[in-house]
Structure 1
Amino acid sequence: MISKVENLPNAPITDPTSEYQSASLLFTNGPNVHSYIKEMNEKVLSHYDLMTVGETPLTHHPEDIAAYVLPTNKELHMVFHFEQMDLDGDGDSLIQKPRQFTKLKALIEKWQQFNREDGFWNTIYLENHDHARSVSRFGNDSDEWRVLSAKLLAIMQTTQSGTLFVYQGEEIGMKNFPKSWGLDEYKDVATHNFWNQTKAARERISGGKPVHMSDLLDNFQKKARDHARTPIQWENAPHGGFTTGTPWMRVNDDYPETNVAIQVGDPNSVLSFWKKALALRKEHEVMVHYLQLSYYLSLSLILCVFKVYGDFTLHFAHHEQLFAYSRTLDNMKAIVVMNFSTGEINFDSQELGLCGARLALNNYEVEDRPFKDNILRGYEGRIYIAGVD
């Protein structure tokens, strides 16, 4: 967004029913954006030992995103792109659309395999300050399944290649605040703008008569950015221990049961599970996409050679609840199987090559439901480690 189309032209009319039109084409990926970033890299960034991360909203074409990241372009190390975050909605819309699980799997496969030989580097994340809580959006935040599905999402993220970003509160499984909260509890200007514009459009259609708006609150409870901005739930204390003053948003109602203090001492908590998953990721290089850069110098040539280690293979691509993939590096293989539903799933363990594999991590800490090798329980996730002949 640092380069905009000159002369401030009007945005094209793409929605005749709206007073305001999307102008993203006029301020994203502008005509000089790459020259600006190259200059910043040359004069500032390249002089320091640091990591650079950009953000590419409203940009889904892989080639457009890669232009910022490929090492030969000398711009940034990585960027946050939002293709998977836009699966259940259109851009800034707060109306939730049905999310097809197979599309999510296909997107992860695409980015895990994209331009590896040229040095493309991923950012791995499911939450940030502009998106609702992941356990409510991608998992199941009911009392029965919140902990298990939060751990499942930890498995999914820690077994992908790239740099992992964990957003504040995600590590304890914080969820969206409840439907009982009214519009006055939402503070984000984008939420209120969307409400006002939608209400005005409906009133124009109704001829000024009162209009029904409860459906919008239902969608806000699922999609609004406000959910990522409630105070961190440190302990069972006023405002969740976040402050002794008055926070700009009130703490979520579940802070007495979901907070850091409780989870620190609980080996079966979401926080403890994140620590286990991260430790496993560090222990086994096969679960991290490693990139070796070698520079060969001469008087007239700088040749940069990239060697990428670890691959990604998706299994059962068309299954609507099962997400399974394998990562292979030299003679080591990691197999990840996850059930994104409340019911049991039978899967073909032979296709995944589980014979002789060691179960390294499982999100069912308490065996209250019998473990079976080829059956995944509700929201169960497993990581197996195996040797490769």
Structure 2
Amino acid sequence: MTEASANPWWKDAVCYQIYPASFKDSNGDGLGDVPGILSKVDYLKDLGIDVDMGYDISDYEKVYAPYGTVKDMEALIEACHKRGMKLILDLVVNHTSDQHAWFKESRSSKDNPKRNWYIWKPPRYTEDGTRLPPTNWRSYFSGPTWEYDEHTGEYYLHLFAKEQPDLNWENEETRKAIYDSAMRFWLDKGIDGFRVDVVNMYSKGVEFKDAPVLDSRFYEQPAWMYYANGPRMHEFLREMNQEVLNHYDAVTVGELPHTPEPQKVLEYVGAGDKQLSMVFQFDLVALGQGQDHKYLFEKWELPELKDIVAKWQQFIDGTDGWTTVFCENHDQGRFVTRYASDAPHEREASAKLLSLMLCALTGTLFIYQGQEIGMINVPKSWPIEEYRDIESLNFYRTMTDPARSVNEQERAAELANVMRGLQILGRDNARLPMQWSGEAPHAGFTDGSTEPWMRVHDLYKEINVERQVHDGEGSVLGFWKRMIRFRKEYANLLVHGAFEGFAMEDKRTFVFGKRGENEERAAVVLNFTGEEQEVELPSGAGYEGLVFAVGSYEDAASEEESAEGRLRQLRPWEGRLYLSGC
């Protein structure tokens, strides 16, 4: 392996994911857009971002009209490159819109040339003649994965919304059209790669079996074992590289749900096999999700989080694979609320603690919009009417359906659990408008002439970019800037170093070490509680002579000057990083 291939540009990059609808509205219509993103490129550059991830440019050769035009995208590409930044776009090729010209042709008749570009199946019937879908698979947005089409008398498959029919990757003609329209078109315009949506769901096999019944209250059941990591998945990705990606210096980061085995993940990210540059593995962000229903929250303890971090830090040891570092995206609750504390007196310390942890981990770092100012989940007081996400709303309707046979007491308890789950885990938490200002209407997201598409957080006057820029390095934003600079300064150790966990069974603190190729060491100590905790620095194996380097409390350095031994007293939600041999 050459040096260039061992350390491509994207390994050391810090990436920033944007959800365009909620980032910045430039024209006052209440919806974020590409010109709005363009107006904030210098903000991202100042933060220390290397790669801007624009999400949801999914109409292939056009931009969703409310977001802007292809010319706007060309201007954004140029602006990023002018500042030494790169731009990667979302690649959504598991499905299209039902308004896409391909699908309109496909549903027009059974003998249309594009009929087989999507997945169509005839209905099943019970003995009494009741029509049933081809399988009992449950959609990610609740309800069936099959939609009946009266015109042709068949069902089409949609793993997500019924307006998003799944493409048939078994059809070679379909794949070639995807490569031309969805990939080459944008790569030729200069984008630097793709975040690949649900990358392991293209190959669904051909048997279409019923899923096991896990919850007898419902006809539809989780069926990911039949449509994720299918028999031709690796073949399709190799072809995608051979046909398209190998001809560009492009990065790919794939969403890889339902893949908990490290060896299976390595099959996707091994550099020698040329499938994906890296993937998002979802164990960490799935922490607390219900077994049968995602939004029925289940309590967890710190050792579970630590084991997940260790697993996905260490799985690349001794291999040619690569990993990612992230704990927020457009589909998840905010990390301060989920992993620490969003109480008014603790949320700033919590945000800094998590920033320190993430910036010390091995892999390519991904930050999601608003994470850098410590944005938090929607208030507990918001009723279901304030939620916008189709997945959340469909789940709420399913669980509160009057036709379900539960008594009123059970229904009330279930409703409380549903709302609690949505407030912690719901996708709307990440889609509230970006909080730019505490003084401007709607947090400066839009000019105020039109209500934003989604309600702005009640606490935008306290948590916003403008205020934190004014507060400087003492703010959450200031700390993120400092940690990004620190991470880049010690990239060999923090970005590329090997991870070691210590006292992994401790339920209050998280201590881990990093080992560099030249025997340098770092140790990170984190207090995941609202009370003072004593921690012990790692000893032996090169961890002698550890010196305090950076911490989430500004006065930690002066305290460390007189510290003796290996014990340290951490304040609530405090994190510190120590260096040795650097």
Deviation at 1:377, TM superposition (A): 0.8
**Which of 204, 208, 211 is the aligned partner of 2:405?**
204
**Which of 490, 494, 505 is the aligned partner of 1:318?**
505
In 2, the alpha carbon distance for the partners of 1:274 and 1:178 equals: 24
Are positions 1:228 and 2:433 aligned together?
no
Match of 1:70 in 2: 270
In 1, the alpha carbon distance for the partners of 2:483 and 2:389 equals: 33
Match of 1:259 in 2: 464
TM-score by length of 1: 0.89
Q: Which moved more, 1:1-10 or 1:331-340?
A: 1-10
Where do residues 232-311 of structure 1 align in structure 2 (5 Å cutoff)? Answer: 232-236=434-438, 237-244=440-447, 245-266=450-471, 267-290=473-496, 310-311=497-498
In 1, the alpha carbon distance for the partners of 2:409 and 2:501 equals: 53
Whether contact under 8 Å (2:436, 2:464) holds in the other structure is: yes
Are positions 1:172 and 2:373 aligned together?
yes
Whether contact under 8 Å (2:508, 2:528) holds in the other structure is: yes
Q: Secondary structure at the match of 2:550?
A: strand
Provide, for residues 175-217 of structure 1, a one-character-per-residue CA deviation record: whole Å limited to 9, x for no partner.
Answer: 0011111000111111111112222388412299974423321
**Which of 411, 414, 421 is the aligned partner of 1:219?**
421
Deviation at 1:103, TM superposition (A): 1.6
Specify whether residues 356 and 208 from structure 1 end up closer, same or farther in structure 2 by C-alpha distance, changes over 3 A only. closer
**Which of 555, 565, 572 is the aligned partner of 1:378?**
572
In 1, the alpha carbon distance for the partners of 2:524 and 2:389 equals: 37
Q: AA paired with 1:327?
A: K
Match of 1:306 in 2: none
Q: Which moved more, 1:224-233 or 1:260-269?
A: 260-269
Where do residues 37-186 of structure 1 align in structure 2 (5 Å cutoff)? Answer: 37-90=237-290, 93-186=294-387
Where do residues 11-30 of structure 1 align in structure 2 (5 Å cutoff)? Answer: 11-30=211-230
Cα RMSD of the aligned pairs, angstroms, is 2.3
Are positions 1:337 and 2:538 aligned together?
no
Whether contact under 8 Å (1:17, 1:201) holds in the other structure is: no
Q: AA paired with 1:33?
A: M
Whether contact under 8 Å (1:52, 1:78) holds in the other structure is: yes
Provide, for residues 17-74 of structure 1, a one-character-per-residue CA deviation record: whole Å limited to 9, x for no partner.
Answer: 1132112122211121111110001111111112111011122111221111111221
Whether contact under 8 Å (1:203, 1:211) holds in the other structure is: no
Specify whether residues 200 and 135 from structure 1 end up closer, same or farther in structure 2 by C-alpha distance, changes over 3 A only. same
Deviation at 1:382, TM superposition (A): 0.3
Q: Secondary structure at the match of 1:85?
A: coil
In 2, the alpha carbon distance for the partners of 1:355 and 1:18 equals: 58
Specify whether residues 50 and 361 from structure 1 end up closer, same or farther in structure 2 by C-alpha distance, changes over 3 A only. same
In 2, the alpha carbon distance for the partners of 1:274 and 1:207 equals: 48
Match of 2:553 in 1: 364
In 2, the alpha carbon distance for the partners of 1:204 and 1:144 equals: 44
Deviation at 1:380, TM superposition (A): 0.5
Whether contact under 8 Å (1:286, 1:328) holds in the other structure is: no
Q: AA paired with 2:550?
A: L
Specify whether residues 112 and 209 from structure 1 end up closer, same or farther in structure 2 by C-alpha distance, changes over 3 A only. closer
Match of 1:301 in 2: none
Specify whether residues 365 and 37 from structure 1 end up closer, same or farther in structure 2 by C-alpha distance, changes over 3 A only. same
In 2, the alpha carbon distance for the partners of 1:269 and 1:349 equals: 27
Q: AA paired with 1:339?
A: N
Tell me the percent identity. 38
Specify whether residues 349 and 62 from structure 1 end up closer, same or farther in structure 2 by C-alpha distance, changes over 3 A only. closer
Whether contact under 8 Å (1:286, 1:327) holds in the other structure is: no
In 2, the alpha carbon distance for the partners of 1:202 and 1:101 equals: 39
Q: Secondary structure at the match of 2:251?
A: coil
Whether contact under 8 Å (1:354, 1:384) holds in the other structure is: no
In 2, the alpha carbon distance for the partners of 1:335 and 1:273 equals: 19
Whether contact under 8 Å (1:203, 1:210) holds in the other structure is: no
Provide, for residues 84-124 of structure 1, a one-character-per-residue CA deviation record: whole Å limited to 9, x for no partner.
Answer: 12221136510111112112111211221113222121110
Q: AA paired with 1:281?
A: R
In 2, the alpha carbon distance for the partners of 1:70 and 1:201 equals: 50
Deviation at 1:351, TM superposition (A): 3.2
Deviation at 1:228, TM superposition (A): 0.3
Match of 2:79 in 1: none
Q: Secondary structure at the match of 1:86?
A: coil
In 1, the alpha carbon distance for the partners of 2:290 and 2:340 equals: 20
In 2, the alpha carbon distance for the partners of 1:82 and 1:335 equals: 25
Specify whether residues 242 and 46 from structure 1 end up closer, same or farther in structure 2 by C-alpha distance, changes over 3 A only. same
In 2, the alpha carbon distance for the partners of 1:334 and 1:103 equals: 23
Q: AA paired with 2:533?
A: I
**Which of 535, 541, 554 is the aligned partner of 1:347?**
535
Kindly tell me the number of residue pairs found equivalent between the two proteins: 368
Whether contact under 8 Å (2:316, 2:323) holds in the other structure is: no
Whether contact under 8 Å (2:498, 2:515) holds in the other structure is: yes
Specify whether residues 205 and 275 from structure 1 end up closer, same or farther in structure 2 by C-alpha distance, changes over 3 A only. same
Q: Which moved more, 1:172-181 or 1:260-269?
A: 260-269
